[in-house]
Amino acid sequence: MHLFLAYCLTAALAPATAPVPAIFSVPACAISTVPAVANNTPMADTTLYITSNSFPANGSIPGKYSCEGQNIHPALEVKGTPSATQTLALILDDPDAKGGFVHWVTFNIKPGETIMEGGSPGIEGNNGSGKKGYTGPCPPAGSGVHHYHFRVYALDATLDLPEGADRSQLEAAMKGHILAQGDLVGLYQKG
């Protein structure tokens, strides 16, 4: 169930002598869907903010985290989890790979903690190679820059999934339990 909220910003909100910042001028009204909680009140914020001290958003992922380096995952920090969050889930994928490729599936991560570099933050699922755990960026030589999406989901439940569950199993189990989500994108090109 979703509540539909309309946000309208107009020049009437600012004093007549003050210009309206460009960020508020387009679009004048935007419609957004916000998941509703049990009592039909919308959550204050449904976006998780994912950062890494290893690379900036839309920046290059250091080779250390790739198949050409140590092949360990970077540290990640997740902010903005709703108070009802029980666990987090994470899917790392490369949609630029032919057919897309899943590099990491992990779930039942405790909220409020930094995902430490190279650690096992939750229950490890199978990546696109059919192996448990993280496998770093490894695009084919000559295929250009690939975009790696670290997708994190705040859930209102602990998932009853076995170790080794794949992306489709995780996505099916998360249905109806996602309170918020966020996406950190990093870039990598084989050197």
pLDDT confidence bin for 191, thresholds 50/70/90 = confident
Is the Cβ–Cβ distance between 95 and 104 less than 8 Å? Answer: no
CA–CA separation, 87 vs 21, rounded Å?
38
For 117-142, what is each residue's pLDDT tens digit? 998 899 999 999 999 999 999 999 99
Distance, in Å, from the CA atom of 86 to the CA atom of 180, rounded to the nearest integer, reads 12
* pLDDT at 14 (0 to 100): 36
Strand ranges in the chain using DSSP code E only, listed in sequence order = 2-8, 29-35, 49-51, 59-60, 77-79, 87-94, 101-109, 123-124, 146-155, 178-188
For the stretch 79-121, pLDDT in tens is: 999 999 999 999 999 999 999 999 999 999 999 878 999 988 9
Q: What is the pLDDT of residue 46?
A: 83
Domain regions of the chain by residue span? 1-42, 44-188
Residue-level pLDDT at 15: 38
Give tens-digit pLDDT for 12-44: 333 334 443 433 333 332 223 333 334 333 344
User: Which whole number is the average pLDDT over 169-179?
Assistant: 97
pLDDT at 36: 37
Could you give the angle at the alpha carbon of 166 between the alpha carbons of 191 and 93, nearest 5°?
30
What is 44-188's CATH topology? Phosphatidylethanolamine-binding Protein (3.90.280)
> What pLDDT, on a 0 to 100 scale, did the predictor assign at position 134?
98
Q: Spell 58-93 as b/e; 16+ CB within 10 A means b.
A: eeebeeebbeeeebebbebebeebbeebbbbbbbbb
Q: Note whether 74 and 61 are within 8 A (CB).
A: yes
Sign of CA dihedral 24, 55, 48, 138: positive
Q: What six digits make up the tokens of 28?
A: 């004048």
Q: Residue 37's pLDDT is what?
A: 39
Nearest residue to 81 (alpha-carbon basis) of 113, 122, 39: 113
pLDDT at res. 112:
86
